Amino acid sequence: MTIPIEALRRQKAATKPVADRRSADDPRAELLELERQGELIVQKIDREAVTVSTKYGREKRIQKAHLWHHKSCGQCGHIPGYSTSIFWVMRKLGYDYHDPSDQTSCTAWNYYASATSNSAAQAAVAVRNFAAAYESGYFPLIHCGTSYGHYKEVREELIRHPELRAQVRDIMAKLGKPLVLPEEIVHYSEWFHALRDEIAAKQVRDMSGIVVTVHPACHYYKLVEGDAIYDPDIYGGQRTAVVTGLAQALGAEVRDYSTWFDCCGFGFRHILVQRDFTRSFATLRKIEVMKEEANPDVVLTHDTGCVTTLDKSQFAARAHERNVGLAVLSEAQFAALAMGAHPYRVCQLHWHSADYRPLLEKLGIDWEKAWAEFQSDLRRLESGEKRYLDWDDVDA
Amino acid sequence: MIQTSARHAETDAHYKAPDVAGYGEVPHDEKVRLFEQVKGDFRFADYLFGCYECGICVAACPSAKFYDFSPRRVAQAAAREDVDLIYQQMQEDIWECSQCFSCLRCPRGNNPGGIITIMREVAVNNGLASAKEALVGYSRIIYKIMSSGTQVSPDMLRSDAFPDWGPETADVADNLDLWRRALPAETMHTTSAGWSVADKTLVELYLIWLETGALDMIAEVDRGLHSILLELMEERLEEEGIQP
């Protein structure tokens, strides 16, 4: 499939742009103005940063080091190799970070699933986490696509509604914290995109024979869309550049498929209590279409729910002899594998359901040997030799 | 402007009868009251700018492909202030939405998914039948997020809870403690939460739930859960010498 890039550009050039009423053109400038008025504090980027372009051309800076990792409950809980791969890649590139326990989830899974929360609570949870990052001196990096999207929504609400700012400021005062927001809300996949050349420079496994499809995460680029990274050199600037840019930098072949815009079928409440919908959508509209149109070795995505949905939904579809059976990884795990990470010690692929072993074999990884090494690690834990594995163990 | 009763009688004829749909009919004034709560939310004006009826949101919507569900109808009903249709949607439709926000493709700048978020909150706050039904089986998850600060936890991965996720789920459950101790990040050795959340952080979270009324929202849909959480939070705050 070919994107009619030139036709789209001509059409856009001939159309008068309409202001997006849903979000600020430059939220950073709005925040700085509110800071000047004494309404809030803006945590500034204070280390080396990479400048990238967003959907409508605003420049966004991505701080490289000294980052406060806002973890994802779904990643840490159900696909822990997603989180450990993010940490591992950052360590390998030599950038320092803080992995806090003074962090809650954004609680937005609950907000979107059960509606047993409200905008004031959600804003207070967001600002409490941002205040914890501010107090630590590290700049926040958001692991979850939903947290990233929701925090952008919260930022819009706080910018637009002084009564919400006042309410949150009062609550923060009771917690002994300021009303603080970061200069930019940054998703981890933006960090991977911004540093893709540095990641590729540390690559030890050849990805040139690997065919990839990309599922762009809805809450990354549909919620407050103006903040997502776009690049004229990737999809002609017609789709978000993250994930695809990294996969291409690593030498993989990214193939297109017709339902790229469709969501994965996660549904928030559906994945937990109404999974007939989730399974159907994930397999019929995503996995099968990818297989029929692109026949990839792996689908890469960049959000918690998308990895979970696309990975877990394939098992039941196999019983119905559907055309499924496709490895699902985050691009962080893919990048870690490219940089030589252990598939079990770092990428924790034994938590995945869809068969990833053919992908490993194509990468020249002896997964049986790797699994035996991991079993050896587990025996050290069982024998009491160690209570926990650490970062030195995973690179042993 | 609120629609007239004559219009309601005409459109009511096309609706599934409330008793068939599993909820009771309510007086017109009650529907107006519920809609006023939706419209009164400060987000409402940020989410609705009229509707071209172009259907782009429906084309983009995953739920519309599988359910008798339409984000266009939601935006139109809200724009027309059609309280009968809005009430019907609050009882029959809103829980089908995937909250993916593909509908933000709307050329008018509407946010039908956001309107649904508000409608769901009003349904919960008022203990509507649809909210009670939608949240059956959800108590443990609400308990988890409100008490632990993380929504999903490793110990939720059990083969009886996720039989359709394959045998790997049972492997995780059988080896949970050991596999968690094999994770190199020291915050992630937990089994009942995604990571280790500091006590001080939880106290701050409890204060947020109490101060914003978020905890009280579940009183109408699950009184027992509300009591358990309230007791847990008040006890913990009392230990810290904090008066919510």
Residue A140 pLDDT greater than 60, yes or no:
yes
Q: Which long-range contacts (C-beta less than 8 Å, at least 24 apart) are formed by B69-75?
A: B69/B93, B69/B96, B69/B97, B71/B97, B71/B103, B71/B112, B71/B113, B71/B116, B72/B112, B74/B112, B74/B115, B74/B116, B74/B119, B75/B48, B75/B51, B75/B106, B75/B110, B75/B112, B75/B115
- pLDDT score at A16: 73
Same domain, B22 and B110: yes
Q: Flag whether B162 is in a domain.
A: yes
Per-residue pLDDT of A347-368, as tens digits, reads 999 999 999 999 999 999 999 9
Per-residue pLDDT of B22-80, as tens digits, reads 788 899 999 999 999 999 999 999 999 989 899 999 999 999 999 999 999 999 999 99
Q: Flag whether B25 is in a domain.
A: yes
Show the domain range for B48.
5-134
For domain A204-372, say whether CATH 3.40.50.360 is its number. Answer: no
Q: How far apart are CA A4 and CA A259, in angstroms?
A: 16
Q: What residues in B contact A215, CB-CB < 8 Å?
A: none
* Residue contact B188–A111, C-beta within 8 A: no
- pLDDT score at B19: 67
Q: A357: exposed, middle or buried (C-beta count within 10 Å: 0-12, 13-18, 19+)?
A: middle
* Residue contact B186–A265, C-beta within 8 A: no
Q: Flag whether B244 is in a domain.
A: no
* Residue contact B208–A128, C-beta within 8 A: yes
B111 touches chain A (CB under 8 A): yes
Residue B168 pLDDT greater than 70, yes or no:
yes
Domain ranges of chain A: 25-188, 204-372
Q: Flag whether B233 is in a domain.
A: yes
For the residues of A332-372, what is the DSSP string, one character each?
HHHHHHHTT--TTTTS-GGG--S--HHHHHHTT--HHHHHH
Query: How many separate domains does chain B show?
Result: 2
Give me the amino acid identity at B56. I
Per-residue pLDDT of B74-112, as tens digits, reads 999 999 999 999 999 999 999 999 999 999 999 999 999
Q: Indicate the residue of B123, B154, B205 with minimum beta-carbon distance to A77.
A: B154
Mean local confidence (pLDDT), B123-128: 94
Tell which of B152, B207, B243 to mutate to test the A interface (max A CBs under 10 Å). B152
User: Considering the domain A25-188, what is its CATH architecture?
Assistant: Up-down Bundle (1.20)
Q: What is the ipTM of this complex?
A: 0.95
Tell which of A16, A25, A56, A73 to mutate to test the B interface (max B CBs under 10 Å). A73
Task: Give the end of a domain, one of B89, B109, B134.
Answer: B134
Tokens for A238, please give them.
Answer: 């017609």
Same domain, B13 and B83: yes
Task: Give the end of a domain, one of B110, B134, B158.
Answer: B134
- Count interface pairs A-B at CB distance under 8 A: 264
Same domain, B115 and B19: yes
Q: Indicate the residue of B95, B105, B145 with minimum beta-carbon distance to A110.
A: B145
Q: Flag whether B112 is in a domain.
A: yes
B36 touches chain A (CB under 8 A): no
Q: Indicate the residue of B62, B66, B117 with minimum beta-carbon distance to A115.
A: B117
Tell which of A20, A89, A99, A117 to mutate to test the B interface (max B CBs under 10 Å). A117
Mean local confidence (pLDDT), A94-119: 96
Rounded to a whole number, what is the distance in Å from the CA of B163 to chain A's nearest CA?
Answer: 9
Task: Give the end of a domain, one of B104, B134, B164.
Answer: B134
Same domain, B176 and B207: yes
Rounded to a whole number, what is the distance in Å from the CA of B15 to chain A's nearest CA?
Answer: 24
